[in-house]
């Protein structure tokens, strides 16, 4: 199974493709889609959408996992991020892909084992779990890979639960 993990944003959309075979996770490709700060918002959203369409067409994921939007203070920045998240989901749905959504706490729990882990702990675990030589940069890329790892663990757990329930 190939999973596309997404950390949505308007300035930077982190993405990470991870293959899951049995219990083994292998990074396929990761990086980010960046938009220019002084470009009109509509053009930035189009750039994010087109970038996602190209990535999906090239790497052909089986599932997409997106981090849920979380904001505590700044609603002004949350709105453009929510719009970028929407075009990412649109690109995936148009490609016929299933979408899974995870809160930051769920991602931390799945990757580190502690829902209130520090960002640095999550990044180091992503590096270890995927056997990377360094923590991916910018942070959005490591976060996207963490979302993909979270989904890989969730898929395993859900399939085991379904097996038990069928018996």
Q: Is 57 annotated as a binding residue?
A: no
CA–CA dist 59, 2 (Å, integer): 9
Q: Is 140 annotated as a binding residue?
A: yes
Q: Give the H/E segment covering residue 154.
A: helix 139-166
DSSP β-bridge partners for residue 7: 14
User: Catalytic one among 19, 57, 140, 163?
Assistant: 140
The answer to whether residue 57 is catalytic is: no
User: Catalytic one among 36, 67, 101, 124?
Assistant: 67
Q: Is 36 annotated as a binding residue?
A: no
What are the backbone angles phi and psi of residue 103, rounded to the nearest 5°?
A: -75, 160
The answer to whether residue 140 is catalytic is: yes
Cβ atoms of residues 27 and 141 within 8 Å: no
CA–CA dist 163, 111 (Å, integer): 24
Numbered residues of the known binding site for Mg(2+): 7, 67, 140
Numbered residues of the known binding site: 7, 67, 140
Could you list the active site residues? 7, 67, 140
């Amino acid at each position: 199974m190939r999973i596309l993990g997404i950390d949505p944003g308007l300035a930077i959309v982190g993405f990470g493709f991870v293959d899951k075979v049995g219990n083994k996770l292998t990074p396929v490709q990761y990086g980010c889609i960046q938009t220019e700060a002084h470009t009109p918002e509509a053009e930035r959203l189009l750039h994010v959408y087109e970038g996602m369409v190209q990535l999906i067409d090239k790497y052909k994921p089986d599932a997409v996992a997106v981090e849920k939007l979380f904001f505590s203070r700044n609603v002004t920045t949350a709105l453009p991020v929510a719009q970028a998240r929407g075009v990412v989901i649109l690109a995936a749905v148009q490609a016929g892909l299933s979408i899974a959504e995870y809160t930051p706490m769920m991602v931390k729990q799945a990757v580190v084992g502690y829902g209130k882990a520090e960002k640095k702990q999550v990044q180091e675990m992503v590096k270890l779990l995927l056997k990377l030589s360094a923590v991916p940069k910018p942070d959005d890329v490591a976060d996207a890979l963490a979302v993909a790892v979270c989904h890989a663990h969730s898929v395993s757990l859900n399939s085991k639960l379904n097996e038990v329930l069928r018996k």
